[in-house]
Amino acid sequence: MSIKEESESGVVYEIGLPPQYMRIDATPEDQAIYSYYAEQLKSIVANPSVTHGIILPKVTDFEGNDLFTFKVHKTVKYKYRETTTVGEVSRVIEADTPEELQMLREGINDKTNNSCN
C-alpha cells in the first residue's frame, strides 16, 4: 500500500508502507508512523526547489520484497484537439506517449476518410 502525492508539474511521489500502518484499527504507534511519512511526502511536494531526503527502514517480506519504498515518476499526457468543419463538433484525443497519440490520430483520420468514400 502506498501514499501518493502529485505536484502541479505532474511529478508523482509515492511512499510504500506495510498495510499495518494504513489500517483503520492501527495502533497509535503505527498511526504516528503513517502520519510522519504522509507529512514528509507533503513537504517534498510543497517545496520542490528544496533538496529533500527521506530515511526508510530496510525491512523485507518473506520473498525479499522491500516493505518500505520511495518512488518518483512523472505523468505526462499529450493532448490533441481536432475541430471538424461540419458543425461545431469537437473531439479530444488523449494519449500517454507521442506514438500512441499518433496512432489514435491516424485511426480517427482513417475512419473519417473511409466514411466519406
Number of domains in the chain: 2
Q: What is the pTM of this model?
A: 0.57
* Three cell numbers, residue 49: 526547489
Q: Give me the domain span that covers residue 109.
A: 78-116
* Three cell numbers, residue 105: 490520430
Are both 29 and 67 inside the same structural domain?
yes
Are both 67 and 85 inside the same structural domain?
no
Per-residue pLDDT of the chain (117 residues; tens, 9 = 90+): 788 888 777 788 888 898 889 889 999 999 999 999 999 888 888 887 777 778 888 888 899 989 888 888 876 655 555 554 545 555 666 666 677 777 887 776 555 555 555
Count the alpha carbons within 13 Å of 30 in the hemisphere toward its beta carbon: 11
Are both 20 and 69 inside the same structural domain?
yes
N residues, the chain:
117
Query: CB neighbours of 82 closer than 8 A, spacing ≥ 6?
Result: 90, 91, 93, 105, 108
